[in-house]
Amino acid sequence: MDARELIARRAAQEFKDGYVVNLGFGIPVLAASYIPEGVEVILQAENGILNFEAVTRLGEEDPYIADAACQPTRILPGGSTFDLAMSFAIIRGGHVDATILGALEVDQEGNIANWALPLSPGKWSPGMGGAMDLLVGAKRVICTLQHTDKKGRSKILKKCTLPLSAAKVVDLIITELAVMEVTPEGLVLKEVAPGVSVDQVKAATEADLIVKGPVPEMRL
Amino acid sequence: MKSKEVSLDAALSHIKDGMTIMIGGFLGLNEPLAAIDRLVKLGVKDLTLITAVNAYPGGGFGIGKLIENHQVKKYIGSHIGTCPAAVEQYKNGELEVEFYPQGTLIEKIRAGGAGLGGILTPTGVGTLMEEGKQKVTIDGKVYLVETALRADVAIIRGYKADKMGNILYRGTPNSNPIMALAADYVIAEVDYVVEPGEIEPDRVGTPGILVDAVVKGYGEEKTREIFRELWIKNKKLA
């Protein structure tokens, strides 16, 4: 199992039956493939859909309906479409139970940076899309990301260095090494990945990790 | 009553160099593709373009063509990453970019069309979005003041319009119904133009009084071909 699949499988366990969820691109969307049996969720797409699924077979597409990545999409029975003001009222207004989003950096205070990489001095790209609204509005914010960057540097920091998407909003961080919860006392190590030790997680993490007693292994 | 149906060129003649225009759509979908293609041919330039998100990923489609053709001097929206030309032009200084979170942007546009001076939002508090903006605290919670946004011309995309300008949307209407209120001149590109009375009143998504010009776009059959080709090329359909 590669890192992405492991993170997606663990993130999928956060879905609760009946949840309205909005999934970011990449690993979060992959998590939808591993929703536990007996759990049904309603997916929300920021471009204005509730309850949909992807379409991949030629002839089943509808050129008036696509998801927030403009992938051909089908509305499921009981689903609905609506305009962007309604969509972001749903998002910002606290009507989405959980969002799973990727990040460039996340820190021990629950700050998250996921919209801006430096393009040139004072210029940032690619932009936030709907992420800032989701982070502020969703009842629960789950952040999925690889624990370190390509050079092995921790992406779980004491303090984010890139421009923030939102301050103090992240509830849970899931990486290929660990599950960490943001609490008022700090970042608590809740689970380690199979075969990974607490010391290994600590060594790969710049943030201060609080370890309370034995740390259980992720069940995947 | 005089029909609002006009030719594409007659409608687009209202767009002059240097104007601010809003274009409905989301990554190409339910975007006024015929009007955009014609704008590229007409070559109006120095535009300020307002859209919710940018072009279909990779560009070369819809609003991406306007940026690739160097007709846009300023872009206002929530994202540029899907349009390589926008990223490149922003980097080299040709294109000015103003980012707003998407939910903030759509509310700014809604305010612009609804006679409001702006809105208060918690989105962006504690981020770069605070720069140069007023903050207010209500019941202990901090909000950013985001002012209203309007355009000289809005081009929206519906499915059907009657000749009085009433619009019926199909699928995901995205930013179109919001932009329909927020510009001095509103052009609606649709697949079908029908007679007044042919759209059930309770299916009207944008009342006709808000629309200045109705133009026939590529039509449904061609729209189906365009997206089938796009999605096959991008390996979304097989």
Taking only the tens place, the pLDDT of each residue in A36-60 is 999 999 999 999 999 999 999 999 9
| Tokens read off for B149 | 């946004």
Minimum distance, in Å, between the CA of residue B218 and any CA atom of chain A: 13
Minimum distance, in Å, between the CA of residue A156 and any CA atom of chain B: 19
Residues of chain B with Cβ-Cβ distance to A79 below 8 Å are none
Residue from the list A49, A85, A132 with its beta carbon closest to the beta carbon of B127: A132
Contact A70 B226 (CB under 8 A): no
Burial class (CB in 10 A: 0-12, 13-18, 19+), A59: exposed
Interface contact B125, partner A, CB < 8 A? yes
Grouping H, G, I as helix, E, B as strand and the rest as coil, residue A131 is: helix
Domain count, chain B: 1
Pairing, β B72-77 against β B47-50: parallel
Task: Give the CATH number of domain A3-210.
Answer: 3.40.1080.10
Look at residue A164 in the predicted model and tell me its pLDDT. 98
Residues of chain A with Cβ-Cβ distance to B28 below 8 Å are 70
Residues of chain B with Cβ-Cβ distance to A120 below 8 Å are 91
**Which of A25, A46, A47 is best to mutate for the B interface (most B CBs within 10 A)?**
A47
Q: pLDDT-based confidence at A72, cuts 50/70/90?
A: very high
Rg (CA), chain A: 18
Question: Is B130 part of any domain?
Answer: no
Look at residue B1 in the predicted model and tell me its pLDDT. 81
pLDDT tens-digit readout, A74-119: 999 999 999 999 999 999 999 999 999 999 999 999 999 999 999 9
Residues of chain A with Cβ-Cβ distance to B106 below 8 Å are 84-85, 88
Contact A48 B173 (CB under 8 A): yes
Average of per-residue pLDDT across A159-183: 98
Question: Is B137 part of any domain?
Answer: no
Nearest CA-CA partner of A36 in A54, A56, A19, A53: A19
Contact A130, A159 (CB under 8 A): no
**pLDDT lower than 50: segments of chain B:** none
Residue from the list A65, A92, A116 with its beta carbon closest to the beta carbon of B172: A65
B113 sits in which H/E element: helix B102-114
Q: Which stretches within B181-218 are classed as H helix?
A: none
Estimate the crossing angle of helix A84-92 against helix B102-114, to 10 degrees.
Answer: 120
pLDDT tens-digit readout, B62-114: 999 999 999 999 999 999 999 999 999 999 999 999 999 999 999 999 999 99
Question: Is B215 part of any domain?
Answer: yes
Burial class (CB in 10 A: 0-12, 13-18, 19+), B95: buried
Q: What is the 3-state secondary structure (H, E, C) of A150-204?
A: CCCCECEECCCCCCCCECCCCCEEECCCEEEEEECCEEEEEEECCCCCHHHHHHC
Distance between CA A55 and CA A70 in Å, rounded? 11
Question: Is B179 part of any domain?
Answer: yes
Residue B87, phi then psi, degrees to nearest 5:
-65, -45
- pLDDT above 90 for A1: no
Contact B102 A133 (CB under 8 A): yes
Q: What is the DSSP letter of B8?
A: H
A116 sits in which H/E element: strand A116-120
Look at residue B123 in the predicted model and tell me its pLDDT. 98
pLDDT tens-digit readout, A115-143: 999 999 999 999 999 999 999 999 999 99
**Which of A29, A81, A133 is best to mutate for the B interface (most B CBs within 10 A)?**
A133
Interface contact B226, partner A, CB < 8 A? yes
Active-site choice (A14, A46, A109, A191): A46
Contact B29 A63 (CB under 8 A): yes
Distance between CA A122 and CA A205 in Å, rounded? 29
Print the domain residue range for B56: 8-116+148-159+173-191+206-233
Look at residue B218 in the predicted model and tell me its pLDDT. 98
A46 in active site: yes
Minimum distance, in Å, between the CA of residue B33 and any CA atom of chain A: 12
Grouping H, G, I as helix, E, B as strand and the rest as coil, residue A218 is: coil
Residues of chain A with Cβ-Cβ distance to B238 below 8 Å are 56-58
Question: Is B77 part of any domain?
Answer: yes
Check: complex ipTM more than 0.90: yes
Q: Sign of dihedral through CA atoms A22, A125, A66, B189?
A: positive
What's B216's domain CATH number? 3.40.1080.10
Burial class (CB in 10 A: 0-12, 13-18, 19+), B49: buried
Residue B42, phi then psi, degrees to nearest 5:
-70, -30
Characterise B70 by phi-psi region: left (phi > 0), alpha (psi -120 to 50), beta (else).
left
Burial class (CB in 10 A: 0-12, 13-18, 19+), A95: middle
Please count the other Cβ atoms lying within 10 Å of the Cβ belonging to residue B28.
24
Contact A70 B56 (CB under 8 A): yes
Distance between CA A217 and CA B12 in Å, rounded? 62
The overall average pLDDT reported for chain A is 97
Residues of chain B with Cβ-Cβ distance to A66 below 8 Å are 26-27, 29, 172
The CA distances from residue B112 to B99, B105, B115, B182, B189, in Å, are 17, 11, 6, 5, 21
Interface contact B62, partner A, CB < 8 A? no
Beta strands in B90-218 (DSSP E): 96-99, 118-121, 135-138, 141-147, 151-157, 160-162, 167-168, 183-190, 192-194, 213-216
Interface contact B135, partner A, CB < 8 A? no
Contact A88 B106 (CB under 8 A): yes
Residue B200, phi then psi, degrees to nearest 5:
-60, 135
Q: What is the DSSP letter of B236?
A: S
Nearest CA in chain B to A47: B174
Nearest CA in chain A to B31: A64
pTM, to two decimals: 0.97
Question: Is B45 part of any domain?
Answer: yes
Pairing, β B183-190 against β A20-23: unpaired
Average of per-residue pLDDT across A183-198: 98
Look at residue A76 in the predicted model and tell me its pLDDT. 97
The CA distances from residue A217 to A25, A39, B53, B145, in Å, are 27, 22, 41, 46
Look at residue A220 in the predicted model and tell me its pLDDT. 87
Question: Is B74 part of any domain?
Answer: yes
